[in-house]
Chain A
Amino acid sequence: MPYRIPIGPYHPALEEPYKLNIQSKGEIVEDVSVEVGFVHRAIELLAQRRNYVQDLVLVERVCGICSNIHTLTFSMAAEQIASIRVPDRARYIRTIMAELERLHSHLLWAGVGSEDIGFQTMFMEIYALREKVMDVLEIISGNRVNYSMNCIGGVNRDITDPDTVLAAVREIRAGIEKTIIPIFTANRTILARTRGVGVLSREDAVAYGVVGPIARASGLAIDVRQDFSYAAYEELGFKIVTQDTCDVMARVVVRALEMLESCRLIEKALLELPGGPLRPSELVTVIPAGEAVARVEAPRGEVVYYLKSDGSDTPVRVKIRTPSDLNIPSVRAMARGQALGDMAIIQASVDPCCSCTDR
């Protein structure tokens, strides 16, 4: 029996509104088309009407999950135009925040993924651990979601108590090593739902131009942290994680190992935290005329900001290219020939972020 099943834009499997039009024969998916744009808030337009200080607040709200990355990339672009050198301590703190954000984002993804395969206990276990990451973020920034840590030229707040943060991160690392990874790699119902499911071949990955953990799970060793190092990744010795089984399981493993790498980076950064100032002594409000492109590895992949200034306090052009923009269409390649019941986890394995995509 041929079905035409719409998933979304409002559907319990989707964290955010977008639409998957599924064409299926019985329980086998024949084709999928994706529709986005339900969350379009015209942020780029608004950013061109507001000044740089206001823009930092605005771009933080491009996405609530990777809020820090957006202010970081925006600041980096502005710093590039104005030739501002970011103090060492600020670079380390930026790295720590970016990796903490990756931890919470990957844990969030693992939780949502567990929910999508109907494993509620795993969702609860992961979210309990994620609360510890949220605690660390709150200790450092005072906020749980929109941290407002970055400013042009540095960071707004210092890590005053590295030891507390270090202890908490070690606890989180133990949680990932002792509960999350063993369950994901040993529970038979999880294996049945992830192994060999939603395969995105290396060729398809290149053709769709996917980035981030999805590309790395399809055997492509691309990561901005390695290829165009920023913040303090060079000093900390970032190690890339790749897998080549190309299925949902590979995406799980890549993200799990990335979380461990994040923990290692945070621990090392905290131990080697250099002294010195956090930001330029005066608030940067005007950026000289010029243009710049900044690239950063967000939890979902590469974020690109293009910024053009005419020397005033308001940017002429802000262009945001987010990773989900590239990743979401690849659902089509993953879904063909798969079971209908797997669509939830397949689309979730991409970790689609619609507020990023739509902006």
Chain B
Amino acid sequence: MINGIAQGLTAYFVWPGLLVSALLGWLFLWLSRKLVARMQRRFGPPFYQPFFDFVKLLGKRSLVPAGMSPLLYYGLPLAAVISITLVLAVLPLPGGVRASFTGDLILVLYLMEMPAFCDVLAGFASRSIYGQVGASREAALILGYSLPFIASVSALAIQAGSFRLEDVLAQPFSAVHVLAGLAFVLAVPARLKSNPFSIPNAEQEIVAGPHVEYNGPALALFELAHALEFVAVASLFALLFVPRLPSAGLTLLAYLGAALLLVVLTSLLAAATARLQIHRAFRFYWTWGALAAAACVVVAVIF
């Protein structure tokens, strides 16, 4: 019992949870910024940059915006961090300890939406017009990217006939994985709010979107949640779509490779595009996203 609790705490706070994922997330964020900078022929930030940004924000005096309850102001970013860390803790990454239970994939899907929902709530609660427009855009974007995202994960579950992660992972690699993988990748840029889908936080249109009134430690938590979300998306992608290798070490390396590939691809896309308008982004996801979603679900049902 005590051993179980200790294992759970380790999974939550150390590996694959908070500590390691935060470091990895900062590394990913740095890599993304550095890649974009290099493509723009700039030198770019040093590798410890996201960490220093985080600590600096923690050390700033906070101003709770007028008319917003401090409970909401601090609660929302905290909820975002807690839930996204929970996702990481339940992912069966090599070396991690976890308990599998029926329907845990559904839990993962739900928890992964939490940071975005917290963003939307934070935007609406901020009483700033920019925050509200940002929030409504983010809500629309969630509706868009959720289609291919949920369909890709569900396709694997349909194929396995179960929402238990263990069962899904036990399936041999097949055409469903390829199609579902594509649908997953389609959803990634919007999930991470990177270009051309950086619509909710469009600086030139609505200042900073949902986070406009946030500052200091609360903003630091939102930034941390974003870094962790980066790792969660990359880990889930690696876990679901990269075949397992004989040894745990090799598998971990393959996972890391897949995650880095995802980072590089999103950075390349971000550097090569302008920001789309929300209705175009929505149309994109409800045509191409829907097509990809339908394709992988149909293939999963047939096979």
Contacts and interface: CB of A to CB of B under 8 A. Distances in A.
Given A189-B196, A192-B280, A124 B275 contact: no
Contacts of A118: 195-196, 198, 202-204, 274-275
Interface string A182-202: 000001011011000000000
B129 A119 contact: no
Contacts of A343: 205
A120 to B, nearest CB: 7
A124 B42 contact: yes
B274 A117 contact: yes
B36 interface: yes
A340 B133 contact: yes
Contacts of B40: 120-121, 124-125
Contacts of A4: 129
B274 A122 contact: yes
Interface in A150-168: none
A341 B41 contact: no
A128 B43 CA distance: 13
A115 B204 contact: yes
A224 interface: no
Interface of A: 1, 3-6, 11-13, 27, 114-122, 124-125, 128, 187, 189-190, 192-193, 339-344
A11 to B, nearest CB: 7
Given A118-B202, A124-B42, A27 B272 contact: no
Nearest to A121: B271
Nearest to A117: B274
B207 interface: yes
A314 B207 CA distance: 46
Given A118-B198, A121-B39, A344 B274 contact: no
Residue among B195, B207, B272, B273 having the largest count of chain A Cβ atoms under 10 Å: B273
B130 to A, nearest CB: 8
Given A115-B204, A192-B276, A193-B274, A5 B196 contact: no
B39 A339 contact: no
Contacts of B195: 118-120
A340 to B, nearest CB: 7
Contacts of B204: 12-13, 115-118, 344
B56 interface: no
B36 A339 contact: no
Q: Which of B40, B42, B274, B276 lies at the interface centre, i.e. has the most chain A CB atoms within 10 A of its CB?
A: B274
Nearest to B201: A118
B57 interface: no
A122 B275 CA distance: 12
Contacts of A13: 204-205
B278 A187 contact: no
Nearest to B277: A341
> 3 closest pairs, A vs B, by CB?
A118-B275, A119-B274, A124-B40
Given A120-B36, A341-B205, 19 more contacts: A114-B274, A115-B204, A116-B204, A118-B274, A118-B275, A119-B195, A120-B271, A121-B271, A122-B274, A124-B40, A189-B275, A192-B276, A192-B277, A193-B275, A339-B277, A339-B279, A340-B205, A341-B202, A344-B204
> Which among A125, A340, A341, A342 has the greatest number of chain B C-beta atoms within 10 A?
A341
A342 B273 contact: no
Interface in B190-212: 195-196, 198-199, 202-205, 207
Interface in B128-154: 129-130, 132-133, 136
A217 to B, nearest CB: 20
B35 to A, nearest CB: 11
A131 B130 CA distance: 34
B129 A3 contact: yes
B278 A5 contact: no
Nearest to A26: B136
A347 to B, nearest CB: 10
Give the most central of A1, A124, A343: most B CB within 10 Å. A124
A3 B274 CA distance: 26
A343 B277 CA distance: 11
21 contacts: A1-B136, A12-B203, A12-B204, A12-B207, A13-B204, A27-B279, A118-B195, A118-B198, A118-B204, A118-B274, A118-B275, A119-B273, A121-B36, A122-B274, A124-B42, A128-B41, A187-B273, A189-B275, A189-B276, A192-B274, A339-B277
Nearest to A125: B40
Contacts of B133: 3, 5, 27, 340
A125 B42 CA distance: 10
B212 to A, nearest CB: 11
Contacts of A120: 36, 40, 195, 271
A6 B129 CA distance: 9
Contacts of B272: 121, 187
